[in-house]
Structure 1
């Protein structure tokens, strides 16, 4: 069987599901974004994912992350089967434990106390399946002084330091335009799951994988965090200017704006040559990195005066041809229309004969085990009966579970 890959330039999905993770069964107890992001990383490579939700009419929660049929929900929940299960009922918990006996992975993002109160925490489920990899994503960690607090992406962006360095100098805190703490926590959880599955091949034992929005956000500060930890510097807002690589930033052109990264002496030399400003190479204010950093506020207006003389497209072509990194600043529609974005298959369309839907594809490719989008998100409880039959329930038992709203 040939695994599916987005075809270069078209984004169409062809062929069957990926087989890379097809031997692993994953129970998805997650909601909103961080957890579903984690599980999507497994589902797109063929893991057998069962998405578990409360039966219709019983879940009164606000559908954070958008309505079920909306773009957000659709993009998070492809490649999964759907099961309804009332975990507030003892029999629902027993059913989950039955499914957990032969599962490889469980992913949840309840508040830390909820799973233990329900009797479905790591200790409960690993006792019946010692090989189980149990992944938990929380706002602030499974224990500690903030463990009981509800987690939310923007709260993590603020507590994790990101909002203090985002935006224009003096503007005040600014959130990033994507839920980066949620997304990164989900991706890190998926990475932890894969590490645990690899380790299980040696030890034969599962383990508890934990991450949180706060941990993910702090980790993603990267060099900005290291500036404080290793050099005692508290980074501040730098707007569109790179905080340490100068000149790097946004410059206004004749018809818009572009990004230019002319950092380092070699690239700086090429940049000055393209602009016809050889005098900047010997100007004591600009001839080395230290001078350009000190005199950034003098240099940037001089650069912009030159860049304003030509169009964005012209500058991007001329600068890249000379080996100076430069690029357009797209709105999202224009980004997806870019020829390189199309070539990479970042947008992937699945047409299963019933409907056609375009999704954001995985951002990496493997030469022999590609990912694939092969099924649209399930309707609520769409596969409940089939999954219960696989677990050994008879049709009469299944009908009774429906009648009592256990499933």
Structure 2
């Protein structure tokens, strides 16, 4: 769980009322509660259908206080800071409470209202707010395979909306501290999808080969089956990676010792990441656990591919404190953000930076120093830059890593300013210290110990900025047997059950072609920074924050529970055809396209079977493969329009599957008006357009469409930042001649430097 040494007047005095439905608002409430916020929850009348869908909800809410707002909503709202409304639809949950939010905010001007919907504001489509339907309506279901749709198994719209909503709440709290006013924060499940998919939903006016190199549909990662039937996941990219793999597997023949295993479209989707067939033949000779140890000893990133819930017993998970045990003996993933006050407030308390006159962005006035690389670190501060923070990207002379692709670099660094500094030199470290002395927070994703060796650890930087907030994103946490290993999205998907869940019943595990764990870790880092800054601003005390890839991967299975008898609740995997988890909630092929059906609850499931004139299926809770085949056969005899008309008349929730998600969003006026789709000038690629802009809406703030900046050129702002930090023109010239700093040479410098995480 998150741990903050609390001080009077800080986070513990905040109160939130959870009045939403389903998983997204519950996750927001949980993340706020983990940070010390007091959570009230509107009393539910009758059974809550979401507690069965998400087993951990009962455990999450055990410390929340239920309040009856039937006759006293205004009294309750007068006592809280944040109201959470909206989120998932369910026919058995009853109609949501009708709240006139504008009128409500006029009576409670300091109140912050987070409203989570299914789709961006201005969308007229009445499709219910259900994860599968959102995936289908937006076209996400066609993003993994070229010839068929699949349901993405980790509920991206629900978790994405919750992460964005939590960021929005903290940003609004920061803005309220500056202005004295609350307001309305809006996010949608549609925007939640974009949080995990920005690098693929991107286009450029002048693309090159590097820009167009992304994992293709039908891609298979290096998931290898072993002699005992178990699977493991390896990742290339470290120096000499291919030679190391050949040595561990005993593959004969010459190999280039410098080959790091760079992905190549020329090898096709099956072998995009390496010669998967060759590796697979030799891996099949060894037991999984033996091979995992051998790869780890050789420095090849590796993890076993575990079923959902198996991670509870993993030694690293336990050592990192990532399991919570409830009083009733149930276990579930612990909170992914760790906060701790790092000392007493300084005598000379740092004054928070203030926005300049006319700056209305929620985070205007905040300055963040980003020392990170790849996605998990930099994406955290990119999300804050979206909301007005001044983010300074400190890059090494060797450049940012491009091993995961140029697009990941663009989407993780948009809106920042860049300075190139050699931190391995004393003068380079001095530059970083002087920059940090002007900042509110510093963050990075170096491996443990690297920041200390470079002299940019929290203690060193606080010598000049005592109240500095410091975020460290690690791979595996800060303690445990694997703490010093390099971490990658792929091995975390494997270890935490995502690949088995996605692969489907009886199939080999499947890696999704977006590094969604990396992007989740970045979003959690943004939440950690905003939470820590709120505490710092209240007390003046420095705050340390920590997140990890492992914690993020477990967080995305946060609704899962291990019962006291050892059974796992919420551990279902997709069907063998990967179309859904249950016949009542799945993708079905019509004569001229695909539909998504979400027949929630017993009565809607019965309406589905009646509408399709199916008999003998039994109670919906017992439906299995035979029922799915019967439904598929009935829908397969209809066109999409015929099926949707029939199901709509019966009150069954369904929608057509959009074929091209990105094209659909580019053509969607509401998506552009909401900022889901933006366009920014880029010195290398012309205009870059995609779903990588601000994904959160705030009342009173609308970003100017022409104000978006692309990711900076490496060193684009070196001269300006040195001048701001007090270096004279002569000093700047000398530092550049000595190679300690570098200004932009007119093009990006993207290399294959290996990241910390």
Q: Same fold (TM over 0.5)?
A: yes
- The 1-side partners of 2:703 and 2:561 are apart by 34
In the TM superposition, what is the alpha-carbon distance from 1:41 to its structure 2 partner? Answer: 0.7
Deviations 1:246-278 (A, max 9, x none): 511121111232221113123224424543x2x
Deviations 1:25-55 (A, max 9, x none): 1111111111121111100001011111123
In the TM superposition, what is the alpha-carbon distance from 1:62 to its structure 2 partner? Answer: 4.7
State the SS of the aligned residue for 1:217: helix
- The 1-side partners of 2:566 and 2:663 are apart by 40
- The 1-side partners of 2:470 and 2:580 are apart by 39
Would you say the 8 A contact 1:350–1:374 is kept in 2? yes
TM-score (norm 2): 0.47
Q: Partner of 2:525 in structure 1?
A: 189
> Is 1:396 aligned to 2:730, yes or no?
yes
Answer with 358-367 or 16-25: which moved more: 16-25
- The 2-side partners of 1:320 and 1:121 are apart by 59
Would you say the 8 A contact 1:24–1:103 is kept in 2? yes
Matching of residues 298-317 of structure 1 within 5 Å: 298-316=626-644
> Is 1:21 aligned to 2:352, yes or no?
no
Would you say the 8 A contact 2:366–2:440 is kept in 1? yes
User: Kindly tell me: are residues 104 and 404 of structure 1, through their superposed partners in 2, closer, same or farther at Cα, counting changes over 3 Å?
Assistant: same
> Is 1:252 aligned to 2:589, yes or no?
yes
- The 2-side partners of 1:99 and 1:79 are apart by 18
In the TM superposition, what is the alpha-carbon distance from 1:206 to its structure 2 partner? Answer: 2.5
- The 2-side partners of 1:127 and 1:389 are apart by 22
2:402 to 55, 58, 63: 63
Answer with 169-178 or 313-322: which moved more: 313-322
State how many pairs are aligned: 379
Q: Partner of 2:391 in structure 1?
A: 49
Would you say the 8 A contact 1:108–1:136 is kept in 2? yes
2:448 to 101, 109, 112: 112
> Is 1:367 aligned to 2:695, yes or no?
no
- The 2-side partners of 1:311 and 1:17 are apart by 52
In the TM superposition, what is the alpha-carbon distance from 1:315 to its structure 2 partner? Answer: 3.1
State the SS of the aligned residue for 1:22: coil
- The 2-side partners of 1:350 and 1:138 are apart by 31
User: Kindly tell me: are residues 134 and 396 of structure 1, through their superposed partners in 2, closer, same or farther at Cα, counting changes over 3 Å?
Assistant: same
User: Kindly tell me: are residues 304 and 242 of structure 1, through their superposed partners in 2, closer, same or farther at Cα, counting changes over 3 Å?
Assistant: closer
2:680 to 332, 346, 350: 350
Matching of residues 151-230 of structure 1 within 5 Å: 151-223=487-559, 225-226=560-561
Q: Partner of 1:336 in structure 2?
A: 665
TM-score (norm 1): 0.84
Flag structure 2 segments of 5+ consecutive residues without an equivalent: 1-119, 124-357, 742-757
State the SS of the aligned residue for 1:112: coil
Would you say the 8 A contact 1:133–1:206 is kept in 2? yes
- The 1-side partners of 2:521 and 2:501 are apart by 20
- The 1-side partners of 2:701 and 2:458 are apart by 31
State the SS of the aligned residue for 1:190: helix
In the TM superposition, what is the alpha-carbon distance from 1:333 to its structure 2 partner? Answer: 3.6
Would you say the 8 A contact 2:402–2:409 is kept in 1? no
User: Kindly tell me: are residues 353 and 135 of structure 1, through their superposed partners in 2, closer, same or farther at Cα, counting changes over 3 Å?
Assistant: closer
- The 1-side partners of 2:644 and 2:703 are apart by 33
Would you say the 8 A contact 1:44–1:371 is kept in 2? no
User: Kindly tell me: are residues 266 and 146 of structure 1, through their superposed partners in 2, closer, same or farther at Cα, counting changes over 3 Å?
Assistant: same
State the SS of the aligned residue for 1:111: coil
Q: Partner of 1:35 in structure 2?
A: 377
- The 2-side partners of 1:272 and 1:153 are apart by 41
Would you say the 8 A contact 1:54–1:86 is kept in 2? yes
Deviations 1:300-359 (A, max 9, x none): 111011111222344346545654332333333444256465565421123599943213
Deviations 1:223-244 (A, max 9, x none): 3x2256787127353233544x
In the TM superposition, what is the alpha-carbon distance from 1:197 to its structure 2 partner? Answer: 1.2
Q: Partner of 2:411 in structure 1?
A: 75
In the TM superposition, what is the alpha-carbon distance from 1:371 to its structure 2 partner? Answer: 5.3
Q: Partner of 1:381 in structure 2?
A: 715
Richer in helix (by share): 1
State the SS of the aligned residue for 1:150: coil
